[in-house]
Structure 1
């Protein structure tokens, strides 16, 4: 399921680079400078364009570092940059460098990858996403923007960056959902999302699943269920045997029955989560390949991730947190920002899952909400970790995509020299602060892996 390097490398071909921007420099062999691009917004969410180098503070693993390079990058005319007045009339204070076209109409186009996570988008979400992406192409994207459409399945409309809107439109039309059957089986009493909750220790989700196993026909402790394996037994036993093994033929205690049911729930949960994480890994591999394919292109690149969300196994023994950090590291090195759109927000109603037998509607709803949140958390981690943001809970996908593009009208390029030069392969956490402007919000990358 992982796209070949030849395919992803092709994303960067066919479009000439725009005007040169400050060189992308990140830690690597022989490099001792880290470059960041930071977006700053006020309380209303409006871009702030008038900050100076002295406004910024960079911390790596909690240690302050001096800002060694500073540029303001804007696609439209910036407000006059605030320049500190010299204390001595004979001293000339150099204004911050500004990388900007003389006329906004002549601004260089953006490099945009629309990454459709067809492994994690339901049928209804895909229909709405395709309709809204078509509107985005016609109404929002600039004619100068170079766009590629990529799928996480590695099947279908993988294309090069192009400004040919007909080609992009055809790629969008060919999108279909490739969600696995385990995710689309809404009648299943334990979904992969709920399995993830069980394995991270959510007691409510576990108890709900136990009640299902005990109460429903065809499950482990039902007299008419098919043969099932019982932990501690030599092989498969009937459900009647399972009940007897758990509690004895007469006077069975509730605790004994629940213990057998819990073991069965945990077994099923592990199986379901492992299957789901195979598809999550395919999504992360595609993201990493796309990001790395842009490493040699100058400037800030955008990746718009459209997905219902996916699991990373966090909080369980199956965690894929290292795979997530690997993607974030690649984005830092490539200068790519990820914006995520939770395509479930496009739906007019929630999933019509039937409540588990014996479960109160409130308990069922809480578990389903928590299950949805853990998939959304993965999208949030990717977006926040690369300096982007997540759009969720809206039926107006076009407005969300417009926000993503508008977010790149003005930003700051910062660089610093890390004092920790150990080649230990560990993750270096980055923070950018504005001590003199606590009212403002700054978004940038979360960090990078040191070479080893």
Structure 2
């Protein structure tokens, strides 16, 4: 289950005993009325000597502000208000009303559970401005040489940053390049207040103590307040205490204090519709802990995002009292408690405003602004590719002839895959310029509409069946016979090494994303999935993979990826077993056994079921049981949706990465659970569309299916759990990956036992594995403790196959087409992709410039090879003046910076061009750049769209010289960076990416005064 993580960052001293006068809200109002006419400083000092015993509301604050003499008094009154946020309101705001009966309490809490389950999954991707005011006190410190006088809580600084909420996750815009030591505001900061924290607290509270507290009366009406108490043993509230040493350079020499803590607080609910209005969380810490207070309160309000109203955080307060760390060389690696000073109070007041729908990390230039003159000197002239880029295409241009459209259905939406440290892409040697006639046309890819199916034929004992011919195969699509117009045999070791694809002429110093020439047709990717795998199973998989690599058959080509909350590139394709083993053993890259915060474990499921059963045996109130079950279901749905989204994105990037490598690719996927279905059935689609907890699942599945189709990827799921001894045949199968089998699990008093909960989950996993394998042409391996043998079988199974190609007799209509392959004679087992989505255009064609580029522009990943191209990067000859418009979309980029020219030459054979009746060819490509510093922070980015209109007399030049594109981007001067580039073909959904280093040594040290016209 997800943990509520609280991070404490301190940079100061401590709090001595200080005698403040304790007053009620009414007494404060009387004191301020009596102080009217006095100087601002005097009133401010008077306020700082007070301490409220009741919560002061924002409405009352507005009334009191009118009588204050100035800003100093108001600033101190704000501090007083913030400190009182964790107190009960005045008695006047608590109406004298009887507590609701249990049925009414249950109704209100049921509405709240429904609100969380309904609202959070439906939140759109958005960004908001987070304005933070930081307050702290200055504790009294007496030393032998001097002393520091005590100061009460006072304003220190303010900061503003953009928070992005995307796919259920919160990230903070890095903004301009900053030093790593300045990346966080001191004090208590939080994660998940846009939604996840509500589900976590509700689940913990429902398992513990959740009771009625009181009514509150506000201007909007009555509000229902429930209190809760969560003991440490049932808590998912984790306190991480760390600190700022006197020397920022020595940060890593201190060991942090970290523990799960019990906590308590209140949940304020609108009793009419269940909207959560306020949430407080107060940690149960002791005086012996380095941090003695870690409290949070969030106030939610109505905001407008994209023309619709949502309830989102409007204001939050976080209060911490902790010890400051004193750093000295003689305390290195000591426990944190031994190097701390007395206590210090810190308060962060956060206001969220300026909510906006998140639509893109890149800007797509309107067609009438497209650059009509890309600058590559080698392509000048009337017949040059540059002249083929049309900047003002007419909206009434002829519709391309569908009969000449492209091939297998292709999906466009690449993933957003965060990565580890950036990597450097070497310059790949460019072949010499060749005559147009020698440039090979892509086979069954972009020039004809064709479907390609790889078929593995095996005997009953698993041995491959070799020597079959085209005449031995029969192909049906939706029950209609198809003519096989392409046939090829692929056997292990029978293919001669191929040469790199021919590229357009490249200038000296250019980088390309051309993949190395494959040594054989056997291409295998090992995906070690820690996101969807239990920690004990992770250790088991690691041992088995290491043993497999140690004894791997010579010549087997393997690449390794690890999927956690992000996809990580561990080792590219190689036959060198020592390199593969070293990559896995490298602590920076290797498979580290860990519990992923987004994943629920088998123990979580059993514990949930066990708690419900225990409550029923104890005859607990139906309200408590119903609330608990609903909260558990919400938590499971949220975890599932988050894991599915991250898994889809990882698979999409793998598909783009493998697109340019010829032949069939085997994806050998180790996991304990498989939360995605690539080709969901009609019934699964209907069920999923009705499930608000997994928005967009069907569309994501279609995108991944289309990418896997064109990249010819077969999935071999291997169950990391190993042999399961429990009987699972009677379990209910109801998950998204379930095959539609229904059984009766049995129950007592409506409770599912922990055993049956695990059995049902196991049945879902097996069905999901079978569906993944059968729909892509692979094979599922489960109920086996010999994962080593499963890997060998998967690799051998995919090394011998037949490739069949046919042109469908029916036009593309966007529907799923079922493929059936038979043999004219013989009883053999056939494995092949059993269908495809008959898309004429990519699934997300209508959302150009958003999902296509941003996810591809991630640092540290291998280059996608669906579109091959070269990049020449260098400082602009004429640097912009100080008043020139910046190149790029990071408005926070600060001087000094250097402008770079980025010129690209794109291999035309990889771009799908649609022909019209006059023989003209049209297309559209998106070009994107994003630069990262060495800490992985994005420093600037830019995107553009190029509309292609190519006349018949220009086509040969395009094929020979490629398609040019040109962008400019401003980057921080004298800084080592990495620039990620991407090309996305909107007609085919194919993409290419390339990451190149930007050395500080290549940048000019002075900025010329001459300004370059944009």
The answer to whether the Cα contact below 8 Å between 1:345 and 1:393 also exists between their aligned partners in 2 is yes
| C-alpha distance in 2 between matches for 1:59 and 1:425 | 18
What is the Cα deviation at residue 451 of structure 1?
2.4
Give the TM-score taking structure 1 as reference length.
Answer: 0.68
From 358, 375, 382, the equivalent of 2:765 is 375
How do residues 8-27 of structure 1 correspond to structure 2 at under 5 angstroms?
25-26=444-445
Larger mean Cα displacement after TM superposition, 307-316 or 325-334: 307-316
Q: Find the counterpart in structure 2 of residue 343 from structure 1.
A: 720
How do residues 5-404 of structure 1 correspond to structure 2 at under 5 angstroms?
25-26=444-445, 31-76=448-493, 108=520, 110-143=522-555, 145-154=557-566, 158-173=570-585, 174-176=590-592, 177-180=594-597, 183-184=600-601, 186=603, 212=613, 215=616, 222=620, 242=623, 265-266=629-630, 268-312=632-676, 314=684, 315-316=687-688, 317-318=690-691, 320-345=697-722, 365-404=755-794
What is the Cα deviation at residue 342 of structure 1?
0.4
Give unpaired runs (5+ residues) of structure 1. Answer: 78-98, 192-207, 224-238, 244-260, 351-355
Q: Find the counterpart in structure 2 of residue 232 from structure 1.
A: none
What is the Cα deviation at residue 168 of structure 1?
2.1
What is the Cα deviation at residue 271 of structure 1?
3.7
From 429, 444, 447, the equivalent of 2:832 is 444
| C-alpha distance in 1 between matches for 2:805 and 2:709 | 12
What is the Cα deviation at residue 389 of structure 1?
0.5
From 819, 828, 833, the equivalent of 1:430 is 819
| C-alpha distance in 2 between matches for 1:276 and 1:6 | 22
The structure with the largest strand share of the pair is 2
| C-alpha distance in 2 between matches for 1:75 and 1:159 | 23
What is the Cα deviation at residue 275 of structure 1?
2.1
SS in 1 for 2:539: helix
| C-alpha distance in 2 between matches for 1:13 and 1:327 | 29
| C-alpha distance in 1 between matches for 2:702 and 2:774 | 12
| C-alpha distance in 2 between matches for 1:327 and 1:287 | 7
| C-alpha distance in 2 between matches for 1:346 and 1:12 | 42
Structure 1 residues 326-354: Cα deviation after superposition (integer angstroms, max 9, x where no partner): 3232112012222111011167999xxxx
The structure with the largest helix share of the pair is 1
What is the Cα deviation at residue 172 of structure 1?
2.1
What is the Cα deviation at residue 115 of structure 1?
0.8
CA separation of 1:14 and 1:117: change in aligned 2, threshold 3 A: farther
The answer to whether the Cα contact below 8 Å between 1:11 and 1:148 also exists between their aligned partners in 2 is no
The answer to whether the Cα contact below 8 Å between 2:487 and 2:805 also exists between their aligned partners in 1 is yes
| C-alpha distance in 2 between matches for 1:130 and 1:33 | 40
SS in 1 for 2:722: helix
| C-alpha distance in 1 between matches for 2:544 and 2:770 | 21
Structure 1 residues 183-224: Cα deviation after superposition (integer angstroms, max 9, x where no partner): 137255576xxxxxxxxxxxxxxxx7996375156xxx726x
What is the Cα deviation at residue 305 of structure 1?
0.5
| C-alpha distance in 2 between matches for 1:322 and 1:137 | 37
| C-alpha distance in 2 between matches for 1:373 and 1:15 | 48
Q: Tell which structure's C-alpha radius of gyration is larger.
A: 2
RMSD: 4.2
The answer to whether the Cα contact below 8 Å between 2:672 and 2:720 also exists between their aligned partners in 1 is yes
Give unpaired runs (5+ residues) of structure 2. Answer: 1-168, 170-414, 430-439, 498-517, 678-683, 728-745, 842-1014
The answer to whether the Cα contact below 8 Å between 2:526 and 2:561 also exists between their aligned partners in 1 is yes
CA separation of 1:128 and 1:185: change in aligned 2, threshold 3 A: closer
What is the Cα deviation at residue 147 of structure 1?
2.2
The answer to whether the Cα contact below 8 Å between 2:655 and 2:711 also exists between their aligned partners in 1 is yes
What is the Cα deviation at residue 144 of structure 1?
5.1
The higher-RCO structure (CA 8 Å, 6+ apart) is 1
| C-alpha distance in 1 between matches for 2:459 and 2:423 | 38
Q: Find the counterpart in structure 1 of residue 795 from structure 2.
A: 405
Larger mean Cα displacement after TM superposition, 280-289 or 265-274: 265-274
Larger mean Cα displacement after TM superposition, 108-117 or 30-39: 108-117
Aligned length, in residue pairs: 363
The answer to whether the Cα contact below 8 Å between 2:418 and 2:567 also exists between their aligned partners in 1 is no
CA separation of 1:185 and 1:412: change in aligned 2, threshold 3 A: closer
Give the TM-score taking structure 2 as reference length.
Answer: 0.32
The answer to whether the Cα contact below 8 Å between 1:13 and 1:160 also exists between their aligned partners in 2 is no
What is the Cα deviation at residue 372 of structure 1?
0.9
